[in-house]
Amino acid sequence: MLKIGITGQAGFVGTHLFNTLGLHQEEFERVTFQKDFFSNTTLLNEFVAQCDVIVHLAAMNRHNDPQVIYDTNIELTEKLVNALEATQSKAHVIFSSSTQEERNNEYGKSKKEARELLHNWSKQADGKFTGLIIPNVFGPFGHPNYNSVIATFCHQLAHNETPKIAIDGELKLIYVGELVEAILSEIRSRKSQAEITVPFTATAKVSEILLLLEKYKSEYQEKGIIPTIDSTFELNLFNTFRCYMDIATHFPVSFVEHTDDRGSFVEIIRLGVGGQVSFSTTVPGITRGNHYHTRKIERFAVIKGKALIQLRRIGTNEVLDFYLDGDAPSYVDMPIWYTHNIKNIGDEILYTNFWINEFYDPKDPDTYFENV
């Protein structure tokens, strides 16, 4: 079993990589990294000494002073090299560089020179090194005004701000989940290569991305409609947008109930995509679920009885509680990377309507069990 450590574990890509490694516990063991290890030589050496693979993601992306970006990124890499030398490590070091290596800016320079520092270490120490040249990365939980323009736009739209386009360039993009799979592929290969260009999986102009995100806000956030999704890129972009909404205050969403002397009628969902619809009955006191998805879109609608729906983002401790009652029908949608459950807290049978955007495939269920 390979022991893998990630510098920058708590960052955008680091969080996704760390959580995904947790889905492969039969293959990988995670070695925990903390930011302050770079300030303590002993702790950094102990971390390095444990690892069979080190994915070096720790870096500064933005700062008012470009020289600070350069100095910080070089210093972090020099400290890692010192620890590798001090422990006589034979770890496979995988470094995340950027296509900005081609640009004449301090961030790009720092990435290129850091990659060269690690490559030189590998040659002198007879170690393994892989340098990944990565395009623009987007996905859930990135920091607005820091990680990507998509993170910024998603945050602004979800919080009723107005995005502005500075330069309407064409972006070469990769979804963070796709990047994680590329990193896992390099880990499994156990091969050295000083420079690998990770292929982008989508291209789009900034204005085209903004139009899609504005559609998601209008149709999904404001009207509850699952929008038309025409490609894997659009699915990834939609799932990214959903994670920037204030979930705790947005849900549960009340349905519009039409009543007359015959009874009532409630529209559950409007779809621009297909999927699978089902319903369940749950006896009092029973809890269903306690699992999460990494790509699926899912809606729970309580139509009769009383329910507690709980959500918790993987890797965090905060639990969101939503109380639903069939007397006032409402729904909660499940964001990706949030484990969730539903419990019958009433005295009668609970009736719940479920919709999910893809058919269940036992060979690829995208369902991972973890208690809320």
Q: What is residue 330's predicted lDDT score, i.e. its pLDDT? A: 97
**Above pLDDT 70, what percent of the chain?**
100
Residue 12 lies in a domain: yes
Query: Going edge to edge, which strands form the sheet with 338-344?
Result: 320-325, 306-313, 338-344, 287-292, 368-369
CA distance 27 to 33: 19
Do residue 196 and residue 261 come from a single domain? Answer: no
Do residue 362 and residue 252 come from a single domain? Answer: yes
Contact of 252 with 332, CB cutoff 8 Å: yes
Residue 153 lies in a domain: no
SS3 259: strand
Do residue 179 and residue 88 come from a single domain? Answer: yes
Do residue 42 and residue 120 come from a single domain? Answer: yes
Distances from the Cα of 94 to the Cα of 108, 112, 133, 184, 328, angstroms = 17, 14, 11, 10, 53
Residue 146 lies in a domain: no
CA distance 44 to 204: 40
Q: What is residue 316's predicted lDDT score, i.e. its pLDDT? A: 97
Residue 9 lies in a domain: yes
Contact of 73 with 112, CB cutoff 8 Å: no
Question: Cα 168 vs. chain centroid, distance in angstroms?
Answer: 25
CATH code: domain of residue 128: 3.40.50.720
Query: For tokens 């006032």, what's the residue?
Result: 328
Residue 231 lies in a domain: no
Residue 145 lies in a domain: no
* Residue 62 confidence (pLDDT) above 90: no
* Residue 31 confidence (pLDDT) above 90: yes
SS3 71: helix
Do residue 308 and residue 188 come from a single domain? Answer: no
> Considering only CA atoms, which of 181, 352, 204, 179 is closest in space to residue 282?
352
Q: How many residues does the chain have?
A: 372
Do residue 252 and residue 129 come from a single domain? Answer: no
Do residue 180 and residue 325 come from a single domain? Answer: no
Do residue 33 and residue 128 come from a single domain? Answer: yes
Do residue 182 and residue 66 come from a single domain? Answer: yes
**How many folded domains does the chain comprise?**
2
Q: Where are the alpha helices (DSSP H) in the chain?
A: 12-21, 41-50, 66-86, 106-125, 149-158, 176-189, 206-216, 232-242, 247-250
Do residue 190 and residue 290 come from a single domain? Answer: no
* Angle at alpha carbon of residue 18, lines to 17 and 23, rounded to 5°: 90
Do residue 53 and residue 194 come from a single domain? Answer: yes
Q: What is residue 240's predicted lDDT score, i.e. its pLDDT? A: 98
pLDDT in tens, 303-319: 999 999 999 999 999 99
Residue 283 lies in a domain: yes
* Residue 141 confidence (pLDDT) above 90: yes
CA distance 55 to 92: 8
* Residue 295 confidence (pLDDT) above 90: yes
Rounded to the nearest 10°, the torsion over CA 66, 70, 72, 76 is 160
- For 127, the domain range is 2-138+173-201
Instruction: Check the CA dihedral 239-240-242-247 and report its sign.
Output: positive
* Residue 209 confidence (pLDDT) above 90: yes
Residue 284 lies in a domain: yes
What is the enclosing helix (H) or strand (E) of 333? strand 330-334
